[in-house]
Amino acid sequence: MALAFDEFGRPFIILREQEKKSRLRGLDAQKANIAAGKAVARILRTSLGPKGMDKMLQSPDGDVTISAHLLRCLFLFPHVPLCLRSLRLLLLCLLKLLHCELPANDGATILEQMDVDNQIAKLMVELSRSQDYEIGDGTTGVVVMAGALLEQAEKLLERGIHPIRVAEGYEMASRVAFEHLEQISNKFEFSADNIEPLVQTCMTTLSSKIVNRCKRSLAEIAVKAVLAVADLERKDVNLDLIKVEGKVGGKLEDTELIYGIVVDKDMSHPQMPKRIEDAKIAILTCPFEPPKPKTKHKVDIDTVEKFQTLREQEQKYFDEMVQKCKAGIVREKSFGTTKDRMLYIEKCANSRAVTIFIRGDTNCCYVGNKMMIEETKRSLHDALCVARNLIRNNSIVYGGGSAEISCSIAVETAADRHPGVEQYAIRSFADALDAVPLALAENSGLPPIDTLTAVKAQQVKENNPHCGIDCNDVGTNDMKEQNVFETLIGKQQQILLATQVVKMILKIDDVISPSEY
Ligand code: ADP
């Protein structure tokens, strides 16, 4: 730091930042970045799968957040013996005392709350967020995959392979895996008349959530909502047309699907009718008036008649605008003994928008109504995404790590076809694909390497890409039999996104950090 003066004699301070900036170049930069990425992936690795662990996160103001697995276990088993139930209540009271939140247990949420500082770690958070945004599922898996790719890349760099060669090899391998996924995919059959398969799938998604008690009705609501806004011919679903609203009170079972919208308002006067059919209403976010001319005009009115004509003209224009508005039914609904009222606007001709109106009860008196509504919203979001993904593309691949193992075998074989240095990176990609089944096995208390080796050998022997990790100890590791599947686009997206992020990280060879003042 130095004090200097400008031409008017005013003092100013020169910070010699450049000298103090810490700088990492070449291999050191890549290693530091890889370490940061791996650290994030390591945190999420233990959360993967049906038996994943929980994370306890403390916010700067001291509030504690526990990811939902633990809480879920407490709610899902109401049949546990009384002594255990007392323990459950005790724990819930404790959580309440700790001001616990009830977040979804997915990677995106955990990372969101970790408030990471490092730029590379932020990239991993973004990675999970992109997967959530595009697909709505697989947010933990994508980070685990990226972490494994980074781990393998580190080994290759240490062996003296240039990062660009690694990036190229990864790109080739990801293409092989992408295409292989398509080959092992199956079609998930359903139609507008036969929505049961879709309902069953959404039920599977909801079964691991706290709202499990109402999974059948919520799954039906989610599927009907998605079908209401879906364009089955173009295979397009605009989830923005589905509004998910919640109001404290009532029971979760009262959650309903409204083919229209719900406004948290009542009729402005008590004497107004509570139900208006064939109503004409417009809900606007802009003024409702005849357009004003952009240029200035002068109208000379010198007689009363001329004024009348002008007024009538304006009136007519306005009338036409009103006539153009179509709204079906407006009705006011009041809830139970409370004075709460809402306006339902339904059967509108020009809008396909639907609303899922959640009523939040206390599943047990220890979880607040509001929390329940928030958790229901998150769970429904997952179910809506699953249904939307299947409508967009009804191809599925089987889960439990089976698809990754099958891809790993295919990529390994592809490596032999490449004579260049890339083959090392391609082989490493195949090893990285094993990270998901390894984590699933480890998290389920199974010996990871032994389990993976056995499953891989079985896939090769039986030529069956559906063999995966039997996390729940069902007795078969055929994921088709267990009905554990993921959408093809979701899995493909995971591989593409993880590869892109890792390539991006590998291409950074200079890290300049700000000076520490
Ligand atoms: P993500 O946020 O990536 O979806 P999850 O914690 O939901 O992470 O775990 C998803 C992984 O768990 C997937 O690989 C999926 O195939 C696997 N999985 C889910 N249910 C089962 C099951 N019953 N048996 C084996 N694997 C399962």
Rounded to the nearest angstrom, the distance between the alpha carbon of 401 and the centre of ligand 1 is: 8
More confident residue, 463 or 1: 463
CA–centroid distance, residue 431 to ligand 1 (Å): 19
Q: Is 56 exposed, middle or buried (0-12, 13-18, 19+ CB in 10 A)?
A: exposed
**pLDDT, greater one: 496 or 9:** 496
Percentage, residues of the chain above pLDDT 90: 31
- The per-residue pLDDT for range 417-456, each reduced to its tens digit, is 998 899 999 999 999 999 999 999 999 999 999 999 999 9
**What number is the ipTM of this complex?**
0.98
Q: Which of 482, 425, 491, 460 is nearest to 177 (CA)?
A: 491
23-54+105-186+398-513 belongs to which CATH class? mainly alpha
How far, in Å, is the centroid of ligand 1 from the Cα of 50? 6
Residue nearest to atom 27 of ligand 1 (CA): 400
3-state secondary structure string across 333-370: EECCCCCCEEEEEECCCCCCCEEEEEEECCCCCCCCHH
Q: Give the lowest-confidence range in 51-60, 180-189, 303-312.
A: 51-60
Ranges 49-63, 125-139, 177-191, most confident:
177-191
What number is the average pLDDT over the span 78-99?
A: 45
Q: Is 459 exposed, middle or buried (CB count within 10 Å of its CB: 0-12, 13-18, 19+)?
A: buried
Q: Which residue has the tokens 């357009």?
A: 291
Ligand 1: which of 46, 404, 471, 477 to mutate, most ligand atoms within 8 Å of CB? 471
Residue nearest to atom 9 of ligand 1 (CA): 49
- Say how many Å lie between the CA of residue 455 and the centre of ligand 1: 17
In this predicted structure, which of 17-21, 193-197, 203-207, 456-460 has the lowest mean pLDDT?
17-21
pLDDT at 80 over 50: no
CB 502 within 8 A of CB 15: no
Residue of 190, 223, 186, 185 whose CA lies nearest to 204:
223
Q: Which ligand 1 atom sits nearest the alpha carbon of residue 436?
A: 14
Q: 67 pLDDT exceeds 70?
A: no
282-314 burial, b at 16+ Cβ within 10 Å, e below that, comes to eeeeeeeeeeeeeeeeeeeeeeeeeeeeeeeee
- Name the residue at shortest CA distance from atom 16 of ligand 1: 399
CATH superfamily membership of 198-280+326-393: TCP-1-like chaperonin intermediate domain (3.30.260.10)
pLDDT band at residue 226 using 50, 70 and 90 as cut-offs:
very high
Please report the beta strands in 163-255, taking only residues with DSSP state E, as ranges in sequence order.
Answer: 186-187, 230-231, 236-237, 242-248
Q: Write the residue with the smallest CA distance to atom 11 of ligand 1.
A: 49
pLDDT of residue 66 exceeding 50, the answer is no
pLDDT at position 259, please?
87
264 CA from centroid of ligand 1 (Å): 38
Q: What is the mean pLDDT of residues 41-67?
A: 70
Least-confidence region, from 58-62, 334-338, 365-369 = 365-369
**Distance from the alpha carbon of residue 47 to the mean position of ligand 1, in angstroms:** 10
Per-residue pLDDT at 353: 84
Q: What pLDDT sits at residue 461?
A: 95
Residue 386 CA to residue 496 CA, distance in Å, equals 19
Which tokens sit at 177?
A: 């895996």
What percent of the chain lies above the pLDDT cut of 70? 79
Q: Which one is predicted more confidently, 504 or 314?
A: 504
CA of 205 to the centre of ligand 1 (A): 10
Enumerate the β-bridge partners of residue 249: 360
Q: Which residue has the higher pLDDT, 297 or 442?
A: 442
Best residue among 51, 140, 483 to mutate for probing ligand 1's pocket (most ligand atoms within 8 Å of CB) is 140
432 and 444 in contact (C-beta within 8 Å)? no
Q: Which atom of ligand 1 is nearest to the CA of 138?
A: 3
Report, as an integer, the average pLDDT of 98-108.
Answer: 51
Per-residue pLDDT tens digits for 339-372: 677 778 777 766 678 889 888 765 544 455 777 7
Between 258 and 347, name the one with better pLDDT: 258
Q: Which two tokens stand for residue 484?
A: 């554990």
The alpha carbon of 391 and the centre of ligand 1 are apart by a number of angstroms equal to 21
- pTM score above 0.80: no
243 DSSP β-pair partners: 355
Atom nearest to 141 CA in ligand 1: 3
Closest CA to 239 of 229, 253, 250: 229
Q: Whose CA is nearest to atom 10 of ligand 1?
A: 49
Ligand 1 atom 7 nearest Cα: 49
Q: Using a 6 Å CB cutoff, which residues line ligand 1?
A: 47-50, 52, 106-107, 137-141, 399-401, 436, 440, 469, 471-472, 484, 486
Position 297 scores a pLDDT of 76
At 372-407, the pLDDT tens digits run 788 888 888 888 998 999 998 889 999 999 999 999
**Centroid of ligand 1 to alpha carbon of 303 (angstroms):** 79
Mean pLDDT of 24-47: 86
Give the start-to-end residue ranges of the domains of the chain. Answer: 23-54+105-186+398-513, 198-280+326-393
Query: Does residue 17 have a pLDDT over 90?
Result: no
The average confidence (pLDDT) of the chain is 80
Q: Which atom of ligand 1 is nearest to the CA of 137?
A: 4
